[in-house]
C-alpha cells in the first residue's frame, strides 16, 4: 500500500494532524520528540462521486479507497549527521512514497517552538536541507562505486554516472532531485530511494481564527510566495487542533459544526487527503451492485487489465473486454437499463487507459 509520511520540525502539530486524519489518539505533547517510533494509520479517501453513486443505488455496503499515513518524528537541523535521532527518522522517510511537510503558521506563546520564533520558510528550509544532505551522501556513495567502471568504458556504469553527476551538482546547489530530472530519469533513480525525489506537499498549520481570513496570515503569505518561487504547489491550510476536535464527528456533524463557526467552505483534511492521493499518483474507478458500491485505487497510466487485477488477479490474467459507463452519466440517468437503451454503456478493450471516470457493474 502506498503511503504518505507526515514530517516537520518538533512541535509543529504533526501528531495532532495525524490523530485527526486517522482518528487515532497518538501521544500529543508540548515538547520535542513526543513521537519516536512512527505511528501509522489507514485513511478513507472521501470521494463525492462514490457518495452520489451510493445514494442512487443504495447498496448494502459502501467502500472507499484507502491509503496509509505515517507520523514520522520531528526532524532537527543536523538530522543528516545523526542529530536528534536523525538517522532513524530519515530512514523512516525513505519508506514512504509522498512527503507531507507540516510547518507552523500561527503564533502561540504557550506552545514551544524549537527555534523560539515562528518562521515557516526557515522551518521548511531546515527540513529540506537535511533531506538534500542525506541525498548528497547517497549519490556520492553510488558515484564512488561506479566511477572507475564508468571511466573504463562500461556502458551501463557510464550512463548511470552521466545521470548522477549533474544530480549531485544540483543537490550541492540546494536543489531537490524532483526538479533536476525528468520522469524517465526519475524512474532510473528509484533504486537509490532519494528523499528529495519524492513528491512533497506542504501543510500550513494555522489557528482557528485564521481560517475565516487566510489572506491576513502573514506567515502563510510568506510561505506561499516562497513555494511559488521554488516551483512547489501552495501550502494546504489546515487547523490541526480544530481538525482533531472534529475527528470524532460524522460528516454531517462536522459540517454542522463548521457552519456554526462560520467556516462552511473550509475543506482542511479532505483537501489534504485528496491532494495527497492525487500527488501520490493514484486515481479511482468504481464498481457497483446491490451488495456493494466500491471505489478502487489504481496508478495513473494503468491499462484496463491492470485495473481489473485490483478486483481479482484472475480478472487481469483473463481480461478481454469490459462494459463500462461514465459515473456522471449513470448518476444523471438514475438507471443502468436506461443508460444501455441510450447506448452509453460501452465495451472497452485492453487499451482503455483512463479509467478514473468509469463504473463497472458487478
Query: At which of 158, 175, 198 does a domain end?
Result: 198
Are 296 and 309 in contact by the 8 Å Cβ rule? The answer is no
Distance CA 73, CA 128 (A): 15
C-alpha pair distances (Å), 15 with each of 115, 201, 287:
19, 17, 35
| Residue 79 clears pLDDT 80, i.e. is over it | no
Same domain assignment for residues 94 and 157:
no
> Is residue 332 one of the residues assigned to a domain?
yes
What would the pLDDT profile of 130-154 be if each residue is shown by its tens digit? 999 999 999 999 999 999 999 898 8
Say what the pLDDT of residue 85 is: 45
Angle, CA of 46, 48 and 52, to the nearest 5°: 130
Domain that includes residue 185, residue range:
119-198
151 and 24 in a common domain: no
What pTM, to 2 d.p., does this model score?
0.84
Domain final residue, candidates 157, 173, 198: 198
Binding-site annotation: residue ranges for ATP: 11-16
Average pLDDT of the chain, as a whole number: 86
CATH of the domain at 339: 3.10.20.30
CA distance 261 to 239: 13
Q: What is residue 188's predicted lDDT score, i.e. its pLDDT?
A: 94
Range of weakest confidence among 73-77, 160-164, 192-196, 343-347: 73-77
130 part of a folded domain: yes
Q: By mean pLDDT, which of 23-32, 91-100, 227-236, 243-252 is the weakest? A: 23-32
Do residues 186 and 89 share a domain? no
- Side-chain-side CA neighbours of residue 317 (13 Å): 3
174 with 209, same domain: the answer is no
Q: Are residues 338 and 356 both part of a single domain?
A: yes
Residue 144's domain is classified under what CATH number? 1.10.150.300
Alpha carbon distances (Å) from 20 to 14, 69, 180: 10, 11, 35
**Residues 249, 214 within the same domain:** yes
User: Is there a single domain that holds both residue 215 and residue 92?
Assistant: yes
Q: What is the pLDDT of residue 81?
A: 60
If asked whether residues 19 and 75 sit together in one domain, one would say yes
**Listed residues 246, 281, 316: the one ending a domain:** 281
**What are the start-end ranges of the H helices in the chain?**
14-22, 48-57, 86-94, 120-151, 155-172, 183-188, 218-229, 240-246, 251-260, 269-279, 304-311, 313-317, 327-333, 336-341
Averaged pLDDT for residues 91-113:
88
H/E segment holding residue 41:
strand 39-44
The answer to whether residue 178 is domain-embedded is: yes
Q: Which string of DSSP letters, residue by residue, matches 57-88? A: H--SEEE--EEEEEEPPPP-TTGGGTGGGHHH
d(CA 30, CA 48): 37
* pLDDT reported for residue 78: 56
Q: Is residue 26 part of a domain?
A: yes
Q: Is the pLDDT of residue 342 over 60?
A: yes
162 lies in the same domain as 207: no
Confidence of residue 294 (pLDDT cuts 50, 70, 90): very high
Q: Check whether residue 329 and residue 272 sit in a common domain.
A: no
Q: Is residue 59 part of a domain?
A: no
Range name among 90-94, 200-204, 273-277 with the lowest pLDDT average: 90-94
pLDDT digits (tens, 9 = 90+) for 182-199: 999 999 999 999 999 999
CA distance 46 to 64: 7
Distance between CA atoms of residues 199 and 5, nearest Å: 11
Residue 291 lies in a domain: no
| Domain match, 176 and 263 both | no
Number of domains observed in the structure of the chain: 3
Residue 55 forms part of a structural domain: no
How wide is the angle at C-alpha 46 spanned by C-alphas 124 and 96, nearest 5°?
40
Q: Which amino acids are annotated as binding site, given as ranges?
A: 11-16, 35
Asked whether residue 102 falls in the same domain as residue 207, the answer is: yes
For residues 177 and 182, what is the distance between their CA atoms, to the nearest angstrom? 10
Q: Which residues are annotated as a binding site for Mg(2+)?
A: 15, 35
Output the pLDDT for position 29.
Answer: 40
Amino acid at each position: 500500500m502506498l503511503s504518505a509520511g507526515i514530517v516537520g520540525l518538533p512541535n509543529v502539530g504533526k501528531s495532532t494532524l495525524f490523530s485527526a486524519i486517522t482518528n487515532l489518539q497518538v501521544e500529543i505533547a508540548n515538547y520535542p520528540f513526543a513521537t519516536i517510533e512512527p505511528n501509522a494509520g489507514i485513511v478513507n479517501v472521501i470521494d463525492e462521486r462514490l457518495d452520489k453513486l451510493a445514494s442512487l443505488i443504495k447498496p448494502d455496503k459502501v467502500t472507499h479507497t484507502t491509503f496509509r499515513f505515517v507520523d514520522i518524528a520531528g526532524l532537527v537541523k543536523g538530522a543528516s549527521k545523526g542529530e536528534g535521532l536523525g538517522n532513524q527518522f530519515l530512514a523512516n522517510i525513505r519508506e514512504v512514497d509522498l512527503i507531507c511537510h507540516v510547518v507552523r503558521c500561527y503564533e502561540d506563546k504557550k506552545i514551544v517552538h524549537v527555534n523560539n520564533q515562528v518562521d515557516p520558510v526557515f522551518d521548511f528550509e531546515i527540513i529540506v536541507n537535511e533531506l538534500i544532505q542525506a541525498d548528497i551522501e547517497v549519490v556520492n556513495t553510488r558515484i564512488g562505486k561506479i566511477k572507475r567502471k564508468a571511466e573504463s568504458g562500461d556502458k551501463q556504469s557510464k550512463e548511470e554516472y552521466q545521470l548522477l553527476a549533474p544530480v549531485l551538482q544540483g543537490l550541492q546547489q540546494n536543489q531537490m532531485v524532483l526538479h533536476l530530472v525528468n520522469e524517465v530519469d526519475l524512474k532510473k533513480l528509484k533504486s537509490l530511494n532519494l528523499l528529495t525525489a519524492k513528491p512533497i506537499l506542504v501543510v500550513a498549520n494555522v489557528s482557528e481564527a485564521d481560517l475565516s481570513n487566510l489572506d491576513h496570515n502573514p506567515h502563510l503569505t510568506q510561505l506561499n510566495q516562497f513555494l511559488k518561487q521554488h516551483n512547489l504547489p501552495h501550502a494546504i491550510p489546515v487547523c490541526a487542533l480544530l481538525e482533531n476536535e472534529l475527528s470524532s464527528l460524522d460528516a454531517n456533524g462536522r459540517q454542522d459544526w463548521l457552519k456554526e463557526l462560520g467556516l462552511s467552505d473550509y475543506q482542511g483534511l479532505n483537501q489534504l487527503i485528496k491532494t495527497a492521493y492525487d500527488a501520490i499518483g493514484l486515481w479511482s474507478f468504481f464498481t457497483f451492485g446491490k451488495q456493494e458500491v466500491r471505489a478502487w485505487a489504481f496508478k495513473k497510466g494503468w491499462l484496463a487489465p491492470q485495473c481489473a487485477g485490483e478486483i481479482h488477479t484472475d480478472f487481469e490474467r483473463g481480461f478481454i473486454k469490459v462494459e463500462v459507463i461514465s459515473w456522471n452519466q449513470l448518476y444523471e440517468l438514475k438507471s443502468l437499463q436506461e443508460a444501455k437503451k441510450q447506448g452509453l454503456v460501452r465495451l472497452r478493450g485492453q487499451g482503455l487507459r483512463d479509467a478514473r471516470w468509469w463504473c463497472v457493474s458487478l
